[in-house]
């Protein structure tokens, strides 16, 4: 579980944060913590005006919560603590003083959909299908719901949540506002991201900060809300249904 990496490169006031995990870029606690700490640090760095968030590899953006870690959760407190990792990460993006641009090169599941939804602006490739599989597992997409609903609306979130085994293509994400633009290749997406981030980095950081505050108006209660949601998932992950489903998926 204690594997994976977070790497940041800063060039011309643009910080590119890349996370990676060999299990389809899934997110165990240690990786969630590292990403949260790095985002907080970048938000305080006056040499950074814009943050680009991406994952390593070419196929999967993020597989969401680590099944390996969920399987060993044996108490509500431990379960809540795990899901608080997602709460802290989403809130770190929300409260970051810099605009965060997400690059989604491939599929995103569960917490991965929450992560890209928390970005202020998101570019994707045609391979970037999304799915919320939490209800199928028995835990529900409670922590990430506010971030996803903020982007796509309650109706579209309901569709994702209830169609828990179905992939929704990048075109669906574009139509619902999850993605701002969709490209036919990773290379085209990266060119567009570089052009946008370079332009934003040349703008007034004070103006960008004030605009970001506008983007996130009405979310000031999320520290409390996401903690409450983490407690719900922390309880549900202990259920017999969830444990049996996770073991089946692992096999």
Task: Note whether 20 and 105 are within 8 A (CB).
Answer: no
Q: Give the pLDDT mean for 61-74.
A: 92
Q: How many domains does the chain contain in total? A: 1
| pLDDT-above-90 percentage for the chain | 92
Give the range of the structural domain holding residue 131, as residue numbers without chain letter: 5-185
- The total number of residues written for the chain in this structure: 251
Asked, for residue 214, whether it belongs to a domain, the answer is no
Asked, for residue 32, whether it belongs to a domain, the answer is yes
Strand 5-11 vs strand 130-131: parallel, antiparallel, or unpaired? Answer: unpaired
Asked, for residue 217, whether it belongs to a domain, the answer is no
* Strands laid side by side in the 121-125 sheet: 5-11, 14-20, 50-55, 99-104, 121-125, 181-183
pLDDT by residue (tens digit) across 134-189? 999 999 999 999 999 999 999 999 999 999 999 999 999 999 999 999 999 999 99
What's the confidence (pLDDT) of residue 67? 86
pLDDT by residue (tens digit) across 100-147? 999 999 999 999 999 999 999 999 999 999 999 999 999 999 999 999
Q: Give the pLDDT mean for 210-216.
A: 97
Asked, for residue 151, whether it belongs to a domain, the answer is yes
The Cα–Cα gap between 37 and 31 comes to 10
First to last CA, the chain: 17
Task: Note whether 86 and 70 are within 8 A (CB).
Answer: no
What's the confidence (pLDDT) of residue 2? 59
Asked, for residue 176, whether it belongs to a domain, the answer is yes
Q: Give the pLDDT mean for 2-19.
A: 94
Task: Note whether 135 and 164 are within 8 A (CB).
Answer: yes
Asked, for residue 243, whether it belongs to a domain, the answer is no
Asked, for residue 211, whether it belongs to a domain, the answer is no
The Cα–Cα gap between 110 and 114 comes to 7
CATH of the domain at 178: 3.90.226.10
pLDDT band at 247 (very low <50, low <70, confident <90, very high): confident
Phi, psi for residue 196 in degrees, rounded to 5: -70, -45
CA distances from 23 to 28, 110, 138, 182, 226 (A): 10, 14, 21, 25, 26
The Cα–Cα gap between 132 and 136 comes to 9
Asked, for residue 140, whether it belongs to a domain, the answer is yes
């Amino acid at each position: 579980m204690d594997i994976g990496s977070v790497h940041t490169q800063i060039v011309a006031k643009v910080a590119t944060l890349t996370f990676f995990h060999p299990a389809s870029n899934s997110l165990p606690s240690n990786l969630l913590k590292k990403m949260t700490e790095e985002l907080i640090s970048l938000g305080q760095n006056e040499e950074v005006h814009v943050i680009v968030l991406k994952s390593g590899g070419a196929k999967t953006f993020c597989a969401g919560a680590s099944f390996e870690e969920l399987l060993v959760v044996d108490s509500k407190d431990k379960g809540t603590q795990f899901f608080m990792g997602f709460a802290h990460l989403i809130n770190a993006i929300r409260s970051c003083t810099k605009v965060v641009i997400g690059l989604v090169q491939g599929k995103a599941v569960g917490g991965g959909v929450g992560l890209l939804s928390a970005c202020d602006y998101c570019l994707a490739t045609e391979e970037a299908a999304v799915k919320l599989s939490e209800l199928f597992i028995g835990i529900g997409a409670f922590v990430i719901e506010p971030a996803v609903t903020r982007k796509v609306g309650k109706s579209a979130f309901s569709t994702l949540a209830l169609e828990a085994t179905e992939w929704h293509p990048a075109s669906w994400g574009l139509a619902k506002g999850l993605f701002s633009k969709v490209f036919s290749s990773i290379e085209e997406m990266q060119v567009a991201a570089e052009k946008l981030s370079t332009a934003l980095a040349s703008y007034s950081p004070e103006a960008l900060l004030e605009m970001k505050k506008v983007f996130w108006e009405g979310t000031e209660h999320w520290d409390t809300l996401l903690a409450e949601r983490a407690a719900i998932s922390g309880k549900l992950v202990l259920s017999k249904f969830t444990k049996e489903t996770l073991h089946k998926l692992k096999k």
